[in-house]
Amino acid sequence: MTDLRMGAGERSGVRLFSVFGIEIRLDVSVAIIFALIVYSLGAGLFPQWHPDWSPAQYWLTAIGAGLMFFASLLAHELSHSLVAQRFGIRVPRITLFLFGGVAEIESEAETPQAEFAIAIAGPLMSLALGVLFATVASLGFDERTLGLLMEDPQAAMAGIGPGITACLWLGSVNFMLALFNMIPGFPLDGGRVFRAIVWRVTGDHLLASRLASTAGRWFGWSLMALGLWNLLAARNLGGLWLIMIGWFLSHLASASYSQLLTQRTLRSLKVRDVMRSRFDTVPASATVEDFIENYLLRSSQLLWPVTDGARVVGLVALADVSDIPLPERGGMRVSEVMADLARAPVLDADALATRALNALLAAGDAPVAVVREGQVVGLVRGSDVLRWVTLHRDLAREV
Ligand SMILES: [Zn+2]
């Protein structure tokens, strides 16, 4: 179980409710992990602890404990989010999914101190919940059963009720969550704490991120190796789970570092610096047939500025003409099918390239026209910006 924090994520699953201005969502994959937890408690752990319980008692306690487990995860994420909000960073939503929770913290912390505080808040919450559940659980044991716990755990456990049983499990699970998340590899909380410390000591954010990301990749690979060993040598299917989490963590560790490199490479650039300034136009008076045969099919350009004299008045793309039946294309003008420039989605030439990249990638890499003072001066796609970044990586290292 882990928790991750990302930029703009996709909005999957169902919306539960909002709290502190943060939307809480549930991904469908939560059903899988919930079923796994309830099954392992109801059919495994609880019957072992309480051979005398009825099936209804096992399953109801298991469902209750499962729900409280997700409430604990949510508390962990909320705790990151509220600290982030205190540092003025927006958190639009938290999504619970297969591997835990994701709080979408909109931007990176600006100082190592803020990064440290935001990162440590989650594990501290899990630790506090662990102490809380363990304390409540301890109330269920009197002196006699507590003494018995060491000699004959079976007999000691047999006497305690469903509520205390659930608290005992929740206490240990929250302690484990706190511990696991403090492993010093990105993107785990411990990796962020580690990065904040290296950043504070060296003053080098990029170096700190690279070290934390490398540690995260190593940790992910170790989990995968452990999972493989579990699967092959110990013939334990639980190994598959470790392999999945390990792969997921190592993938995110590398992805987050290259995302940071991208942001730093682009930080001082405007859209006009990364756009394609060489493009062709099509006159508004051209027929659709002429446009398709002599422009669209003769070039790799996807979006075409439409000109009326020297002025660009609209934009036309494949999607605007593909549905027009062949016989009608000769009698129809481009001006009739184009999108009006005033109403088409465009980017300002002076907008920040980092902001534009998010919008462009969200648009599925479709090209967007770049305008300055009402005139189209270029075209840009998300992949153009990424290509630009690949060829200018060294800029990230200049401060
Ligand atoms: Zn966390």
Q: What fold does the segment set 271-397 form as a domain? A: CBS-domain (3.10.580)
> Which residue type is seen at 112?
P
Mean pLDDT of 279-308: 91
Are 166 and 64 in contact, with CB atoms under 8 Å apart?
Answer: yes
pLDDT of residue 9: 44
pLDDT category of residue 5 using cuts at 50, 70 and 90: very low
In the predicted model, is pLDDT for residue 3 greater than 70? no
Torsional sign, CA 163, 140, 1, 126: positive
Mean pLDDT of 60-72: 91
pLDDT of residue 130: 95
236 or 22: which leads in pLDDT: 22
Given the residues 23, 77, 143, 373, the one annotated as active site:
77
pLDDT category of residue 11 using cuts at 50, 70 and 90: low
- Which range is least confidently modeled, 104-118, 119-133, 149-163, 216-230? 149-163
pLDDT of residue 228: 92
Q: How many residues does the chain have?
A: 399
Average pLDDT, whole number, for the chain?
85
* Rounded CA separation 382/359 (Å): 8
Are 116 and 193 in contact, with CB atoms under 8 Å apart?
Answer: yes
- The model's pLDDT over 91-110, given as tens digits with 9 standing for 90+, comes to 888 888 877 778 887 777 88
With 0-12 CB in 10 A as exposed, 13-18 as middle and 19+ as buried, what is 396?
A: middle
> Which residue type is seen at 15?
R
Backbone phi, then psi, for 171, in 5-degree steps?
A: -60, -50
Distance (angstroms) between ligand 1 centre and the Cα of 123 equals: 6
Distance (angstroms) between ligand 1 centre and the Cα of 2 equals: 7
- The model's pLDDT over 179-227, given as tens digits with 9 standing for 90+, comes to 989 988 888 899 899 999 999 999 888 888 889 889 989 999 999 999 9
Distance (angstroms) between ligand 1 centre and the Cα of 119 equals: 6
Mean pLDDT of 381-397: 78
In the predicted model, is pLDDT for residue 84 greater than 60? yes
pLDDT of residue 293: 92
In the predicted model, is pLDDT for residue 332 greater than 60? yes
Are 340 and 319 in contact, with CB atoms under 8 Å apart?
Answer: no
Distance (angstroms) between ligand 1 centre and the Cα of 342 equals: 45
Are 274 and 387 in contact, with CB atoms under 8 Å apart?
Answer: no
With 0-12 CB in 10 A as exposed, 13-18 as middle and 19+ as buried, what is 140?
A: middle
pLDDT of residue 12: 64
Distance (angstroms) between ligand 1 centre and the Cα of 195 equals: 14
**CA within 13 Å, CB half, 297:** 9
pLDDT of residue 71: 92
Distance (angstroms) between ligand 1 centre and the Cα of 168 equals: 22
Are 316 and 292 in contact, with CB atoms under 8 Å apart?
Answer: no
Distance (angstroms) between ligand 1 centre and the Cα of 239 equals: 23
What Cα–Cα distance (Å) separates residue 145 from each residue in 45, 159, 165, 171, 205? 19, 8, 14, 19, 53
Per the listing, tokens 């939307």 go with 23
Residues 6+ apart with CB under 8 A from 147: none
pLDDT category of residue 7 using cuts at 50, 70 and 90: very low
pLDDT of residue 333: 92
- The model's pLDDT over 19-45, given as tens digits with 9 standing for 90+, comes to 888 888 888 888 888 888 889 888 888
pLDDT of residue 398: 58
Distance (angstroms) between ligand 1 centre and the Cα of 238 equals: 23
Burial 370-394 (b: 16+ CB within 10 A, else e): bbeeeebbbbbbbebbbebbeeeee
Q: What is the percent of the chain with per-residue pLDDT over 90, rounded to a whole number? A: 30
Are 49 and 145 in contact, with CB atoms under 8 Å apart?
Answer: no
> Which residue type is seen at 219?
F
Active site residue 77: yes
- The model's pLDDT over 248-292, given as tens digits with 9 standing for 90+, comes to 888 888 888 887 888 777 877 888 888 888 999 999 999 999 999
* Rounded CA separation 144/273 (Å): 75
pLDDT category of residue 4 using cuts at 50, 70 and 90: very low
Are 313 and 306 in contact, with CB atoms under 8 Å apart?
Answer: yes
